[in-house]
Amino acid sequence: MEMMLYIGGLLFMLVGLAVSIALHEVGHLVPAKLFGVHVGQYMIGFGPRLWSRRWGSTEYGVKALPLGGYISMAGMYPATADGEKATGMFRTLVQDARDANNETIVDDNRVFYRLSTLKRIIIMLGGPIMNLVLAVVIFTVLLSGVGLQQATTTVSAVAECVLPATSRSQTCSADDPVSPAAQAGLLPGDTIISVGGEPVATFAEASSIVQRSPDAALALVVERGGEQLTLTLTPIAAQRPAVDADGLAVVDDNGDPVMATVGYAGMTSQVEYVRQPILSGSQMAWENAVAVGQIVVTLPQRLWDVGASLVTGGERDPNGPLSVVGVGRIAGEVAATDAPVLNRFVVMLGLLGSLNIALFVFNLIPLLPLDGGHIAVALWDGVRRAWATLRRAPAPRPVDATKLVPITVVVAVALVAMGGLLLIADLINPVRIFG
């Protein structure tokens, strides 16, 4: 059963990836057709063709490896003049790119390179924007539809006694003192209204008051059975690792945790899904985009760390880059846990949202063959046209980006190498989220 759940989680992520890629290409396809560009193919995946059908002038199909997709637009670059041949060290690569580009041009009036700069940017931005929109929808469903897990002010359990911090036992003995919460008469199911005269809306607020009040008698107002009761809670002083404002452990110069004296009551809260404001999904998408951007900026160092972990067997950074296999593996592990079904679904859907943010950010890198590279070419073409207009000079010939093919090949090889490294790492030394 556990293996079936694991496979189910893996398939969920693969299908989600295929849908994300399909929508990414739709984001390119729709504006391209609206602007009159001839689109010869719309394909999901790479490798051998599994299925295809032609509607109108476009062939739609699916290929064997659902790890990407593409649309074939006519005239991505200006047609090569008759007799014009590429020169230089990489002339074969450049000439092959020019020949392939020329073959796509069926009607010279329906080509990409003749569009205005704005329309070209809209077409190339359409794919990444589609991934961003999909991520926002996913995160909005998660946060505003399902909710965010939060500790409520309702008590779920009350400790019977206070066990020493060094104790390995989970049961109370006659020598263990009664916990302050039990001594106060607090019961599971009670809802905390106020602590020490301060109204509380979250369990974190109640805990904060308790922690800063060791050995102080606090008036604890709770709701029980529709009635409000006032109890007296006296937290005991306990040594706990200190944390900063971000909830991170504070350490000394030697790296040892700093201990702090805090109040302890011995109560835990119920955790429930609390629906968030409708804009929370957009905020989460932005936070994910910033995090992915930071990974991209530091990608060489992170890839080096991944390679080092393969050699040393060291633990992988859980916030580092992953291949599709790595993401699918995590989804499978989540699906195979014994957590509630809703919890597992939320985590897997959140992974899919994060994957779409990664597609959004990564495709904006201004290097060919990525979408960002085509946007950079369009912007440069627009700058040249604007400069010619200011000088009242004839419009320049559109930028011939086939000259950038050698750089494109280098980038493509680097992407393949990165994918291969991450794939091997995710198979041999995967990121472990469950220890």
> pLDDT digit string (tens) for 355-369?
999 999 999 999 988
Arithmetic mean of pLDDT, 170-196: 87
pLDDT computed for residue 100 by the predictor: 74
pLDDT computed for residue 274 by the predictor: 85
Q: Would strands 267-274 and 148-158 be described as parallel, antiparallel, or unpaired?
A: antiparallel
pLDDT grade for 402, boundaries at 50, 70 and 90: confident
pLDDT grade for 113, boundaries at 50, 70 and 90: confident
* Catalytic annotation present for 103: no
pLDDT computed for residue 82 by the predictor: 55
Tell me which of 184-198, 245-259, 302-316, 419-433 is least confident: 245-259
Catalytic residue among 25, 160, 198, 287: 25
Arithmetic mean of pLDDT, 322-339: 85
Q: What is d(CA 372, CA 362) in angstroms, rounded to the nearest whole number?
A: 9
Q: What is the pLDDT of residues 17-59, one digit of tens each?
A: 889 999 999 999 999 999 999 999 999 988 888 999 999 889 9
Q: What is the pLDDT of residues 284-326, one digit of tens each?
A: 999 999 999 999 999 999 999 999 988 888 888 888 888 888 8
For residue 46, list its beta bridge partners: 65
For residues 423 and 307, is the Cβ–Cβ distance under 8 A? Answer: no
Q: Is pLDDT above 90 for 69?
A: no
**Nearest Cα to 309, choosing from 299, 294, 320?**
320
For residue 51, list its beta bridge partners: 62
Q: Is pLDDT above 90 for 403?
A: no
- Is the bond preceding 199 in cis, omega lying within 30 degrees of 0? no
Other Cβ atoms closer than 10 A to 68: 15
Q: Is the four-CA dihedral 330, 336, 339, 343 of positive or negative sign?
A: positive
pLDDT computed for residue 244 by the predictor: 66
Q: What is d(CA 117, CA 378) in angstroms, rounded to the nearest whole number?
A: 6
Q: Is the four-CA dihedral 279, 284, 290, 292 of positive or negative sign?
A: negative
For residues 259 and 241, is the Cβ–Cβ distance under 8 A? Answer: yes
Arithmetic mean of pLDDT, 158-185: 78
Q: What are phi and psi of 121, to 5 degrees?
A: -65, -40
Q: What is d(CA 273, CA 249) in angstroms, rounded to the nearest whole number?
A: 26
Arithmetic mean of pLDDT, 109-115: 88
The two three-digit tokens of residue 146, written as one number? 């399902």
Arithmetic mean of pLDDT, 103-115: 82
For residues 265 and 233, is the Cβ–Cβ distance under 8 A? Answer: yes
More confident residue, 93 or 381: 381
Q: Where are the alpha helices (DSSP H) in 35-116?
A: 91-104
Arithmetic mean of pLDDT, 125-135: 97
Q: How far is CA 103 from CA 65, 83, 293, in A?
A: 25, 15, 37
Q: What is d(CA 139, CA 145) in angstroms, rounded to the nearest whole number?
A: 9
pLDDT grade for 407, boundaries at 50, 70 and 90: confident
Instruction: Identify the three-state secondary structure at position 259.
Output: strand
Q: What is d(CA 155, CA 192) in angstroms, rounded to the nearest whole number?
A: 8
pLDDT grade for 88, boundaries at 50, 70 and 90: low
Helices 324-335, 341-362: axis angle to 10 degrees equals 170
Other Cβ atoms closer than 10 A to 397: 11
Q: What is d(CA 129, CA 235) in angstroms, rounded to the nearest whole number?
A: 53
Q: What is d(CA 38, CA 71) in angstroms, rounded to the nearest whole number?
A: 10
pLDDT computed for residue 90 by the predictor: 67
For residues 153 and 203, is the Cβ–Cβ distance under 8 A? Answer: yes
Cα 27–Cα 32–Cα 33 angle in degrees, nearest 5: 110
Measured in residues, the chain has a length of 435
